A and B are shown apart, each in its own frame.
Chain A
Amino acid sequence: MKTLVIITHPNLEQSRINRTWMQELKKHEEITIHTLYQTYPDGKINIPHEQSLLESHDRIILQFPFYWYSTPSLLKQWQDEVLSYGWAYGEGGDKLHGKELGVAISTFGPEDSYQPNGYNHFTMETLTTPLQQTSNLIGTRFMQLFVLNGVMHVTDEQLEENAKAYVNHVLQPSLIEAN
């Protein structure tokens, strides 16, 4: 099984969590890492290239910091442009059918803020409903969320452990073959 991790962070060099996650992923040659802002600093996405990357992998992970309870804008643009009608959905749009789609998200707000009585009011599962439904429409199997909340309060030791857990998550056995 081939795994593609698409990292979307506008300041990856200054990011503690997303950069550490990426460095841990890099220890595993079988994972393809694709950094979106670094590949397309001018925001002009090469759609055929992106589609061919998706076609040549079985599991796709979208890794990003939570911006306004959603993806950073370049990843939204990637969805709008790459997941096209007749390719990813609609008539003849079956190119991603049977693949697995996962999301890995870092959030500033602590875990207990993403609860009905917390200051963000809604859970991560509720807020990522658009991504779950995107997965439904393109015919991919949606993986369990991988989330690290409260990134300002994560110690270096915790982050090191978390990055290992992240790699285990990314490399877990196929959900589809297990069925």
Chain B
Amino acid sequence: MKTLVIVAHPNLEQSKVNRTWMNRLQQEDNVTVHNLYAHYPTYEIDVKKEQQLLLEHDRIVFQFPFYWYSSPALLKQWQDLVLTYGWAYGSEGTKLRGKEFMLVISTGGPKEAYQAGGFNHFSISELTKPFQATANLTGMRFLPTFTQQGVRFLTNEQVLENAEELVCHLKNNY
């Protein structure tokens, strides 16, 4: 099985968690790491190339920091442009059908903030329903999300440990 990890972080050099995750995943066989902001600094996405990448992989992963309870803007642009009618959805749009889809998300807020009564009121599962609906419409199976929360309070050791957990989560059978 081939896994494509689409990394979307506008300041990857300054990011501790997302950079560590990306570097660790690059060491894995059968995992393609695709750094979106590095490829498209001017937001001009090569739709054909992105669609070809998707076709070549079985499990599609979005890795990103949670910005306003969603993906950073370039990853939204990617969704709007790459997942086209007649290709990803609609009666003829069957190209992603049968693939698997996973989210890998870092959040600044701690885990306990993401629940009823917490600072952010809603859980990650609730806030990522648009992605789950996207997986449904394109015929991909939505897999459990990997999250690392409260990222500002992590030690370097914890980030490295967490990257190992990510590899297990990413390679697991669901």
Contact = CB atoms under 8 A, between A and B. Distances in A.
Interface of A: 43, 67-74, 76-77, 79-81, 83, 119-122, 126-127, 129-130, 132-134, 136-137
B68 A130 contact: yes
B98 interface: no
A56 to B, nearest CB: 22
| Interface of A (DSSP majority class) | helix
A129 B80 contact: no
B69 A69 contact: no
A80 B122 contact: no
A77 B131 CA distance: 18
B122 to A, nearest CB: 5
B120 interface: yes
Interface in B115-144: 120-122, 126-127, 129-130, 132-134, 136-137
A129 B73 contact: no
B130 A68 contact: yes
B68 A129 contact: no
Given A127-B130, A133-B127, A80 B68 contact: yes
B67 A73 contact: no
B72 interface: yes
Q: Tell me which of A68, A81, A136 has the highest count of chain B C-beta atoms within 10 A of its own C-beta.
A: A68
A69 B120 contact: no
Contact of A120 (B73, B79, B133): B133
Given A76-B73, A79-B68, A136-B121, A122 B133 contact: yes
A130 B79 contact: no
Nearest to B81: A73
Interface of B: 43, 67-74, 76-77, 79-80, 83, 120-122, 126-127, 129-130, 132-134, 136-137
B69 A129 contact: yes
Given A76-B68, A76-B76, A134-B69, A129 B127 contact: yes
Nearest to B85: A108
A71 B120 CA distance: 20
B108 to A, nearest CB: 10
Contact of B80 (A68, A119, A136): A68
Which 5 pairs between the two chains have the least Cβ-Cβ distance? A77-B73, A69-B130, A130-B69, A73-B77, A73-B76
A64 B132 CA distance: 21
B134 A69 contact: yes
Among B71, B72, B130, the most chain A Cβ lie within 10 Å of the Cβ of B130
B43 to A, nearest CB: 6
16 contacts: A68-B130, A73-B73, A73-B80, A76-B67, A76-B70, A77-B73, A77-B77, A79-B67, A80-B68, A80-B73, A120-B136, A120-B137, A122-B133, A127-B130, A133-B120, A136-B120
A127 B76 contact: no
B76 A70 contact: yes
Contact of B122 (A69, A70, A74, A133): A133
A174 B43 CA distance: 39
Contacts of B83: 68
Contacts of B132: 121-122
